[in-house]
Amino acid sequence: MLIYSRHSVSFVSLELILSKVRMEGKRSEKVADLIQKEISQMLLKSIKDPRIGFVTITRVMVTEDCRFARVYFSVAGTQAERESSMKGLDSAKGYVRKELGRRIRLRYTPEIMFQFDPSIEYAIHMEELIQSLHQEKEPNEEEGD
């Protein structure tokens, strides 16, 4: 590749540096992504607890030493279904940790803690509020004509 100006040289070298930084990342973030993928697969294929409803793993936070993982999940349904899913996930903790140890080669398999993530419900609530404001605004515009 030929580079003709000094500005393009700095831009190309900056891109190379940024691509290396993106590839390196933090180890705990990579482990968290891998744990999220594996637990999602377990929920689809191997965990058959009837208490666990339509659960989505929204994110995983892992400590720097990769010994503890907090798994955030969301449930489509009522408060009772959420509590039932939480109990089912809590009872499956041991199985999930054992399977993670088998599927992911780490020195220490992280201790799993499940926690409900209300962000999706909050987003749905905000969307409903915005829709209701739009519906209130439309009749007012028609009356003004």
Helix (H, G, I), strand (E, B) or coil at 61: strand
122 domain residue, yes or no: no
Residue 69 confidence (pLDDT) = 95
Report pTM.
0.70
124 domain residue, yes or no: no
143 domain residue, yes or no: no
Residue 145 confidence (pLDDT) = 53
- For the chain, the domain total comes to 1
Residue 143 confidence class, pLDDT cut points 50, 70, 90: low
Residue 66 reports pLDDT greater than 50: yes
Domain hosting residue 57, numbered range: 25-117
**69-121 pLDDT, tens digit each:** 999 999 988 889 999 999 999 999 999 999 999 999 888 999 999 999 988 88
Question: CATH number for the domain including 32?
Answer: 3.30.300.20
Alpha helix stretches (DSSP H) within the chain: 6-24, 27-45, 79-91, 93-103, 119-144
125 domain residue, yes or no: no
